Amino acid sequence: MLVVKNLTKSFNSAGGEVHALKDVNMTINTGEFASIIGKSGSGKSTLLSMLGALDVPTSGSIQVDDIDIAKLSAAKQTAYRAKKIGFVFQHYNLIPNLTALENVMLALEFGGMPASKRKARAQELLTEVGLDEDEQLRKPTRLSGGQQQRVSIARALANKPAIVLADEPTGNLDSETGKKIFDLLHSLTRSENVTIIAVTHDMDIAGKTDRTFRLKDGQIVIEK
């Protein structure tokens, strides 16, 4: 279970302090698919980076299965990210000079899998997300946006994370491809009981998730 309590995040900028998150409270159960919606600048990406321990909150707590990740040392936060979290980004963030297969194998290497097992596991993951043998051997520029996002989903799931955090994973895709990507995330996480938290602008997609949270000026409103 993920329990966020009284979470605030402020940034100092030239124009003064920016209160990106103000007293956010939310609980997400293990295995739930939650969506986060809200206008540009409302704090969605800031919230995801706190949940993924990419940045530290100004105050408040983030309990993941009873561990407060906001209070971990930097080294433990790195370990938490590597072991527990899978990230999917709008711009895929694949390594351009590696093939799809090599991108996933690299994630497995970071996760500590022995070299002898990486290739077979990467092939299995990529097949699961719908890439054929030929596509698996291509570099990202020779894949469509939807295929690149499938690779990044395979990479995010490589080390069997407990939580997948996705920041507008369909933001660069047409709506039909976007829906397919969401359905894929849904089915893969459902079968493994992975919690998924995805930022989206697409209300059709948000409507299909278990829970929806709306952020407005750094504050959360539960929609369902």
Ligand X SMILES: Nc1ncnc2c1ncn2[C@@H]1O[C@H](COP(=O)(O)OP(=O)(O)OP(=O)(O)O)[C@@H](O)[C@H]1O
Residues at the contact surface with Mg ion, assessed by CB under 5 A = 44-45
Distance, CA of 76 to CA of 68 (rounded, Å) = 11
The phi-psi region of residue 112 (left if phi > 0; otherwise alpha if psi is between -120 and 50; otherwise beta) is left
Task: Label the pairing between strands 67-68 and 59-64.
Answer: antiparallel
| Residue 13 touches which member of Mg ion, ligand X, none, C-beta under 5-8 Å by kind | ligand X
Could you count the other beta carbons within 10 Å of the beta carbon of residue 179?
A: 16
Provide the 3-class DSSP secondary structure of residue 138: coil
Contact 33, 210 (CB under 8 A): yes
Q: Residue 81 Cβ, how far from ligand X at the closest point, in Å?
A: 18
Q: Residue 176 Cβ, how far from ligand X at the closest point, in Å?
A: 22
Q: Residue 216 Cβ, how far from ligand X at the closest point, in Å?
A: 10
| Residue 41 vs 207, nearer CB to ligand X | 41
| Residue 51 touches which member of Mg ion, ligand X, none, C-beta under 5-8 Å by kind | none
| Residue 44 vs 211, nearer CB to ligand X | 44
| Residue 45 vs 189, nearer CB to Mg ion | 45
- Alpha-helical runs (H) found in 85-158: 100-110, 115-128, 133-136, 145-157
| Residue 22 vs 121, nearer CB to ligand X | 22
Which residues contribute to the site for ligand X (CB under 6 A)? 11, 13, 18, 20, 38, 40-46
